Amino acid sequence: MSVHSKEWSRDSWKSMPIHEQGIAYPDMAHLNHVLQRLAELPPLVSPASIESAREQHAAAARGEAFLLVGGDCAESFDDIKTDIISQKVSLLANQANHIEAVTGLPVHVTGRMAGQYSKPRSQLIETLADGRRVSAFRGHNINGPDIADREPDPQRLLPGYWHSVAIMHVLSTAEKVHTAHEALHLPMEAALTKDRSNTSATFLWVGERTRQLDGAHLEYVRGLRNPIGVKIGPSTSPADLLNTLGRLCYDREGEEGRVTIITRFGAEKVGAVLPALVEAVRASPFRPVWMCDPCHGNGFTKSGVKTRKTTTLLSEVAQTIRILDRFGAHLGGLHLEQTGEEVTECVGPESLVSDDLGKHYTSLCDPRLSGTQAMWLVERVAEIVVESRDSRNELEQGNHGMSLSQNTLIFHQISTFFVSWIQMAKSLWRISIDKCSFKSKGV
């Protein structure tokens, strides 16, 4: 049976392969018991919130709004504290206010929070210095960072739920903030699915490592009402992207904002990869949101520490904006790994240098932008959005003016032709009259 024609249910993904990033629990009975308990618990988000997010993503796809997604690479249970959560929310609010003030677009905010407890890893097994092989740390929902806690433990899913409840309580006092996380842990996601709504978050995305067309992850998210994101890297082909969009859109007729394409190419590769993808999508019936994640394609290691340069991140976003504009599309959102705390995990632009990395590096996984760095980046992105938009408008006005001039010239040429023709006809008529006059006089 075709992957497109298969009937969907919240468990239909179980008949599809998980190509990688599967979680090997030693006690499946224990896992099933925990999943049953999760299914009985109240939803974290309402269907109304999901429908609101769908409308916001559709507006972003039309260029009428901008989406801002930001938060930790991997949330920590230890960071579920009022002050830390409030700093994250405050940062998102300040960023949104700035983008809105500069661009004039309404900005809809989504936090990478209240569920980003499971992480894909490039290496699922870690070899220790003594030669022992253990599972890599994959987020607090799955296992612990300490070597003794590396075996996947399903019991962790329950504190993950309650920590999310605590965050949702803090968010309820803030201006509307949606939540998002990667739909990696499919057993948990299915347990928290009611009808066609995943009630663990309003916005879910499928990662670059798990988006296989015949895979379980795309099968799970394709039937949801939630807006869905798909991360794509530099190996993505136009055909691959179009097939993915076709897999996720219910009626294959576009569905504005149903899918958010989250690009993560790296500053050195975006110029070579993105143009062909944009052209292919523009020629298709699909109308996704284009969102840039400049973090994941630009990491490097400095003195054994993973980090990112803020200027490189800005370069990828700037290139993405200009390429999209060149091909008649637009940037609809920004996806950042960041925290409101003044951590020292990324480098630059001027406030930090590489030597500062060890001072306050607390990320459980990849490096995050500090509050200062995240604001610096957003301020410049907003400026580039406006500059690119103004340039596009000037070009369109120039083309419109040229079109008017061309039309005027054509009208003038036609008018001149008719005037000349009429004058010639009059001359011929006079000659004819004169000849007749001569004949009548016997000349």
The pair phi, psi for residue 194, each rounded to 5°, is -115, 120
**Residue the block writes with tokens 């500090």:** 370
What pLDDT sits at residue 252?
54
Buried b / exposed e along 294-323 (16+ C-beta atoms within 10 A)? bbbbbeeeeeeebbbbbbbbbbbbbbbbbb
Q: Is 19 marked as a binding-site residue?
A: no
Q: Is 255 marked as a binding-site residue?
A: no
What pLDDT sits at residue 22?
86
Q: Is 208 marked as a binding-site residue?
A: yes
d(CA 438, CA 252): 81
Q: Is 337 marked as a binding-site residue?
A: yes
**Residue the block writes with tokens 């409030």:** 86
| pLDDT tens, N- to C-terminus, the chain (443 residues) | 344 457 999 999 999 999 878 899 999 999 999 999 999 999 999 999 999 999 999 999 999 999 999 999 999 999 999 999 999 999 999 999 999 999 999 999 999 999 999 999 888 899 999 999 999 999 999 999 999 999 999 999 999 999 999 999 999 988 889 999 999 999 999 999 999 999 999 999 999 999 999 999 999 999 999 999 999 999 999 999 999 999 999 765 568 999 999 999 999 999 999 999 999 999 999 999 999 999 999 999 988 899 999 999 999 999 999 999 999 999 999 999 999 999 999 999 975 555 688 789 999 999 999 999 999 999 999 999 999 999 888 877 777 655 544 554 454 455 444 545 455 555 544 434 444 443 443 43
What pLDDT sits at residue 401?
58
What pLDDT sits at residue 48?
96
Judge contact between 200 and 44, C-beta under 8 A. yes
Q: Is 209 marked as a binding-site residue?
A: yes
Q: Is 112 marked as a binding-site residue?
A: yes
Radius of gyration (Cα) for the chain, nearest Å? 29
Cβ neighbours for 211, distance < 8 A, ≥ 6 positions apart? 217, 218, 230, 231, 232, 244
Bridge-based pairing of strands 203-206 and 228-232 is parallel
Tokens representing residue 78 in the block:
């230890």
d(CA 363, CA 75): 9
- Closest CA relative to residue 248, chosen from 233, 264, 260, 265: 260
Q: Is 36 exposed, middle or buried (0-12, 13-18, 19+ CB in 10 A)?
A: exposed
| pLDDT tens profile 197-248 | 999 999 999 999 999 999 999 999 999 999 999 999 999 999 999 999 999 9
Q: Is 231 marked as a binding-site residue?
A: yes
Which class does domain 12-398 fall in?
A: alpha beta
CA distances from 166 to 74, 76, 104, 115 (A): 17, 13, 33, 11
Structural domain spans, the chain: 12-398
Bridge-based pairing of strands 259-263 and 228-232 is parallel
Q: Is 112 exposed, middle or buried (0-12, 13-18, 19+ CB in 10 A)?
A: buried
Bridge-based pairing of strands 107-112 and 193-194 is unpaired
What pLDDT sits at residue 357?
85
What pLDDT sits at residue 355?
61
